[in-house]
Structure 1
């Protein structure tokens, strides 16, 4: 045997011995996996196997022993894939061709059938996937190409991602971006098509991250609005705040629901000539009437609140009015009879008018006529505000101006209606208050996705009542009806008054006015601009009503002051800010183009249940048109958890979400 033959035999023997040792070790690891060893033991054995394989591949020349090296590499890869440590076929950016070739490489051991130039991309891809555990094997491959690994190590997956993210953050033109990525491909030896694909994914991820931050800000704004509350004792006299707070507690309602219901009712009791001169220089005058909307689901105690605070106490005033009207009518008829007996052509005295304290159903034209007919205000009271807006122009084929007339009534304006037969309505001042309830889904249909161009919804002080369970008290009680009736009688008896702010309150009102005007011009959302535009007026209206409530619940033997002080203005500002938060919350939940409403439904459901929820629990809370798939709901679970607004457990179809109370308290 020649020296060359001996050397070749020795080399083949050594190679075969290493091959046998590696195969034995691979089988041992496979047996260890099948025996379900601990994770730590398995990972330690994998690391040892990687070192042996790396040393072996580094000791041979890849250009001559390539099939054997590939087979051993494949054995290690297959063990890692068996354990679920690798998922080569799901690597982002891998083309279908690469997937097919890598499938052959991993499972069919056909590397010896491929030319070395065809295999280069697969070996480079394998190194990127399998990491530094195969550095020596990759070094051997690079040496066969006449390169070193030090240059290649610079372009790891993390470095490539970092470079592509830098490109994404630059203000490159389309051509400059393509040139920059092409240059990166040349330097890194990554395929340019793959870099473009990864770049597109990175841009999508960055956009999604920005969108998620925006969505999180909206949700936190909604949560903050839902958490905001008003202490009634800081707004009302204690002898009125205490029973209203107790009523809200028994019904498990927000105290603000009782407060705004009271304000809406009181605002309709003034004489039509009563007003607040808020700024003398500009003759800025405000009528006292308010538009109040209670937003709550059906069976959420809206009707009992309206009865307790408005219908029942106003019913006592209505009974008094009926008695007065009957007496005046009897006197009037006697007077007419006497005058006619003396002179049948004599002019009769005007017929007494019966005051309407509240009404529940009307048309736009009838509402306008009655509002201008009486010297006192009146209250439109409705369990469903939708009925009010549905009745506008109902008798005019939708071609009238009822809605515009209603909006003018908010400012206390009168009406002059001209018909063919002449002037029908002719009044200078009105005082119409609105107090009604509406369901969230109905309100969403009315205002969702629409600009509030005429400021109709900005005129309303909405309060959202979450879905809560009330309790039934079996003892105690409140004599609320008599107390409120006494309050309402006192305010109704006041003459027409022109109120003003005292000097301190005037300065503070100016500051509040200037602030909301700055917010208005900076606000990008048209509907919210309308809200800010009505806020200063709402502050003045609320301050006027709080002023008369304080007087009526105090020492009524003293005449009411015509100057409104800080004790009424500061709570009014607080309430106006609360109103802004409420409408922001509603608009945020009614935005069809935003993810926030969907996530809020999940948060509200999870909080109300107080337990882990699944996708099937969430889906029925959406309408059929908006209902997301189960997979979309589960993705929403993950998004909320990533935002830090809850926790998830389980995987796949068993994924669950929980809203923990400490998230609400953050």
Structure 2
């Protein structure tokens, strides 16, 4: 974040007064002040160095608090700054633009043009807590768990009818009880949300406009149209509303929603784009052959082998190597990867990491060690006959498995001196983010500032941290992450909006619960071939790390650029229509992951056969990268859906999962119901369970038939559970 800002959100304070308030509030002179063309002034403090998003939002909140204190004393407690300005993604009016409501042009009305250190501003402001993240489940304004059944997405026509009924019959715009900005905004945002799920994005605008026109204060249809258009930018807000919020509001006035109908499930589908990638299709033939030999006695899917080795390649790739995806928009990506292996306890997650990532990197680690020894020899020669004191060189490393935030920052500074990447490899991935917070007493609660800073290193950016007595600065970074997580833990960590975009950055690899057996009587010749394969796979990584120049910029060929651009456009469109924020995040991050993987595939090709390697990333490399990312994202989407399932969906799919464990058998509803946990049995009685089984059959998950004594029997289709992801490591 490059600047702090505040805006006074009240007509009680004139524009002339707003221009002078910084003086009375005890603040330094603003860098810039912009009259918006309406009733307010945007007051900017531009920073001399960018700060992180979380740090900047907290600083903006402190700046607001300082001004709010003065406003409360001078005017009233109701006169405040606009707290939406705290958000990093808040749209702002540019000087020179025309305000649509007044026709006046925004203009610069003051400022000293000085840039400030963040600390200089903060010392004038009170300390504030980090902005609280509102929970969809329990946050104010959201529908309660009791009524979550009314929020099933899948029947837009029904939801639109509910909206119209509430707005026309239950929320009187002339009543004092329905006045206020929040309700006005809620109705507009829900109308926009429902319209976006239909074929007409302006479908419900007339109903919102009609409701507002009957209210005591109405700014006109033109103003509403501008606000409606702005809702596309409001989508990332953490406090936005949905239909459930409007239902809860209407219930205060006696409204009761229609009874929820039996749950409807989408039929299982197999998408060609989500087909698991194969070694022979992704890597050059010699490498594919060697990786198959290395993993021939292990229960590892080829997709996991591919993703794991790509992580090793990303670790060997030099810092500064990047792929230019669109020169016109300065869209480029570094060649690092975040990787998550999903498997239950006992599925050989740690052996997979060792065999496919750590062991192949041994030759490259020897090369890195040699770089340090060369530096050390030069240092010893330098100090041998000198009276001056010099700091000895610090060793670079290939990977870390256990560190805190301070240790990570120190190592990243060293890695930059060598121009090398760093791999963070953990047996349990959640521990990466927990350990980043230990030195602050974070305990077992991950996700505070230091864990988030690690996520910000995904794009290879810089960092600067200031501690008492010591500061650290790094202008470039290159961090890859790999680790494993259990399916049920991943489901619990997922949220419907994934506010940090944590999981959208990751490639996911499934590790099914397949019993492993030790090989017996392996011929000596085969053992020798496996040994040679390990050597060859490791040698490729050493060549990638030692032979490619630093700051290598890889370009896409014309054909590859066309394929990538089409993919980018498609994913952007899908993200705009995604029902879950976490799904939208996954779709938006997909093109960047494709660019990274395409670049890694080029490095592999160049290391194996440089003379025949194309000068640019070709179309086949982009197509292979797309297949890898789409398969990973399809798998990740299953966890997002599971994390956001209603109770009805969880019960329905649990019944199906129980039936899958007895393939080909007809099982009575009673027997299936006995397999449910106590909570589900108490909440969904026999009749509701029968309706769920019937709905499962209607959508292709299985079959039903009458049972003895008027009961119902169900037989699961053998492939339906696998399409949904309930088998093979879902838990």
| TM-score bracket for the superposition, by shorter chain length | 0.5 to 0.7
For structure 1, list consecutive stretches of 5 or more residues without a partner in the other structure. 1-166, 178-202
Q: 1:334 to 1:638 in 2, by over 3 A?
A: same
Partner of 2:466: 418
User: Which of 389, 397, 411 is 2:433 aligned to?
Assistant: 389
Q: How does 1:517-528 map to 2 (within 5 A)?
A: 517-528=572-583
1:407 and 2:455 equivalent? yes
Q: 1:621 to 1:529 in 2, by over 3 A?
A: farther
User: Which of these two proteins has the greater Rg computed from alpha carbons?
Assistant: 1
Q: How does 1:524-539 map to 2 (within 5 A)?
A: 524-539=579-594
- After TM superposition, give the deviation of residue 545 of structure 1 in Å: 0.7
TM-score, normalised relative to structure 2: 0.56
Q: 1:325 to 1:663 in 2, by over 3 A?
A: closer
After superposition, give the CA deviation of every residue in 1:98-117 in whole Å (9 maximum; x if it has no partner): xxxxxxxxxxxxxxxxxxxx
d(CA) in 2 for partners of 1:620, 1:314: 50
1:236 and 2:283 equivalent? yes
Q: 1:603 to 1:560 in 2, by over 3 A?
A: same
TM-score, normalised relative to structure 1: 0.61
Partner of 2:392: 351
d(CA) in 2 for partners of 1:566, 1:506: 8
Partner of 1:658: 715
Partner of 2:213: none
d(CA) in 1 for partners of 2:428, 2:291: 23
Q: 1:432 to 1:168 in 2, by over 3 A?
A: closer
- After TM superposition, give the deviation of residue 256 of structure 1 in Å: 0.7
d(CA) in 2 for partners of 1:356, 1:618: 54
User: Which of 446, 452, 460 is 2:506 aligned to?
Assistant: 460
Partner of 1:372: 413
- After TM superposition, give the deviation of residue 236 of structure 1 in Å: 1.1
- After TM superposition, give the deviation of residue 216 of structure 1 in Å: 2.7
After superposition, give the CA deviation of every residue in 1:242-284 in whole Å (9 maximum; x if it has no partner): 3434666643332111111111221122221111121111211
d(CA) in 2 for partners of 1:654, 1:378: 61
Q: 1:517 to 1:224 in 2, by over 3 A?
A: closer
Aligned pairs, number: 456
- After TM superposition, give the deviation of residue 573 of structure 1 in Å: 1.6
User: Which of 299, 318, 322 is 1:271 aligned to?
Assistant: 318
Partner of 1:647: 703
After superposition, give the CA deviation of every residue in 1:201-232 in whole Å (9 maximum; x if it has no partner): xx75xx535x31xx234xx25x6699731122
Instruction: Indicate the SS of the match to 1:381.
Output: strand
After superposition, give the CA deviation of every residue in 1:163-190 in whole Å (9 maximum; x if it has no partner): xxxx99999979x99xxxxxxxxxxxxx
1:473 and 2:527 equivalent? no
Q: 1:436 to 1:634 in 2, by over 3 A?
A: farther
Instruction: Indicate the SS of the match to 1:453.
Output: coil
Instruction: Indicate the SS of the match to 1:661.
Output: coil
For structure 2, list consecutive stretches of 5 or more residues without a partner in the other structure. 1-157, 170-257, 724-731
Instruction: Indicate the SS of the match to 1:352.
Output: coil
d(CA) in 2 for partners of 1:397, 1:417: 18
- After TM superposition, give the deviation of residue 322 of structure 1 in Å: 4.1
Does the 8 Å CA contact 1:263/1:542 hold for their aligned counterparts?
A: yes
User: Which of 477, 480, 483 is 2:536 aligned to?
Assistant: 483
1:216 and 2:266 equivalent? yes
Q: 1:508 to 1:327 in 2, by over 3 A?
A: closer
Does the 8 Å CA contact 2:457/2:479 hold for their aligned counterparts?
A: yes
d(CA) in 1 for partners of 2:160, 2:496: 34
Partner of 2:491: 444
Partner of 1:311: 358
Q: 1:289 to 1:616 in 2, by over 3 A?
A: farther
After superposition, give the CA deviation of every residue in 1:439-462 in whole Å (9 maximum; x if it has no partner): 011111211x44211211111112
d(CA) in 1 for partners of 2:273, 2:655: 15
d(CA) in 2 for partners of 1:434, 1:590: 23
- TM-align CA RMSD: 3.7
d(CA) in 2 for partners of 1:323, 1:567: 36
Partner of 1:97: none
